Amino acid sequence: MRALLAISLVLASALPVRHVPTVPLHAKGETIRFAVVGDVGRHPEAVAAAIRGQHAKTPFDAILLVGDNFYYCGVSSARDSKWSLIRDNYSPIGIPIFPILGNHDYGDPTRFKGPCGQPRPQAQVGKEIVPHWNFPSRSYAVAMPFGTIVLIDTMPVALHWTKPFLGSQTADGVVRDLDSALSGSSGWRIVVGHHGIYSAGEHGTGASRDLASMRTLLPLLKRHHVDLYINGHDHYLGLIGDRRAVKRPLFLTSGAGSNVRPLFPRDTAEPPTLFPPDGQKPFLGFAVMEIDARQISIVFYDSDGQRRSERFVMAMKQP
């Protein structure tokens, strides 16, 4: 599969460029502040309340919702009762919500050998379905004064789809969108996808079926000098990469929005773990990311609103 996808990535570069929709996010001050949370689709109340609490102290500018927005089988329409999970917990915060799709939003075809229930991923995409929901396309960009965040649908890449599935693009199409969006960007470059590239969760182990496919994105991320890759999928909070932030990107996992799962030892040949420290058990929570013209900082909080990490800082590379 790795060889096949590598070939497809080369072929994709020769296909016509398709520009992804771009949503502007204006800074209210010198810093843009995000709450980053994923896998919220079952019991989001505790983490959403903690985010609201932090917002009351120091306001966020937006929420990055990194997939698996609804368990276990996505939503069937814009009128699905599951929308109350977002409407009652995240919409009241009153700031833009920028989502992406995860495997459960597709009905988790990897687990059920086909979609479970009657998922309709496209029902999440388009107009504002609940207040502050901003999801113009399955892959899109958020333009900030300090850089660009590109949010992509990683299901076709992780599963190496050569044909559309439930309205998706192919793996080639997603790669083409990502390449196009990054080609016109400047300042900070951040990519958000549901599936991880490195993590300490169950999907970050060598046995993961989608891991090799996702790692074929690394040459593209490095060629475009991407600073940070953000994902969910693994149900914990973590940060992986070079502590001096010399080798980029860093890898941020924020998939502890509604439940957590055990961690696993990581391959010592991979980039090192910055968080969590050895022996720390996973906890419900979210990440806070602050971006200005000079640096990105990341701090982890639990579902009680308590800070659980030091502030990890990445400085802008000098030209």
Residues 76-99 have pLDDT tens digits of 999 999 999 999 999 999 999 999
CA 128 to the chain's CA centroid: 20
For every one of its 319 residues, what pLDDT tens digit does the chain have, with 9 covering 90 and above?
Answer: 444 444 344 434 444 456 799 999 988 889 999 999 999 999 999 999 999 999 999 999 999 999 999 999 999 999 999 999 999 999 999 999 999 999 999 999 877 778 898 899 999 998 789 999 999 999 999 999 999 999 999 999 999 999 999 999 999 999 999 999 999 888 999 999 999 999 999 999 876 778 999 999 999 999 999 999 999 999 999 999 987 767 789 999 999 999 999 999 999 899 999 999 999 999 999 999 999 999 999 999 999 999 999 999 999 876 5
Residue 127: which residues within 8 A CB-CB, separation 6 or more? none
By residue range, what is the domain housing residue 28? 2-315
Cα–Cα nearest to 61, from 37, 95, 94: 95
Q: Which pLDDT does position 61 carry in this prediction?
A: 97
- Alpha-carbon span 96 to 62, nearest angstrom: 5
What is the number of domains present in the chain? 1
- Bridge pairing between strands 273-275 and 237-240: antiparallel
The first and second tokens of residue 311, run together, are 């502030």
**pLDDT of 123-174, one tens digit each?**
999 878 999 999 999 999 999 999 999 999 999 999 999 999 999 999 999 9
- Alpha-carbon span 254 to 115, nearest angstrom: 25
- The CATH number given to whatever domain includes residue 97 is 3.60.21.10
> Is the entire prediction scored with pTM above 0.85?
yes
Cis peptide before 140 (omega within 30 of 0): no
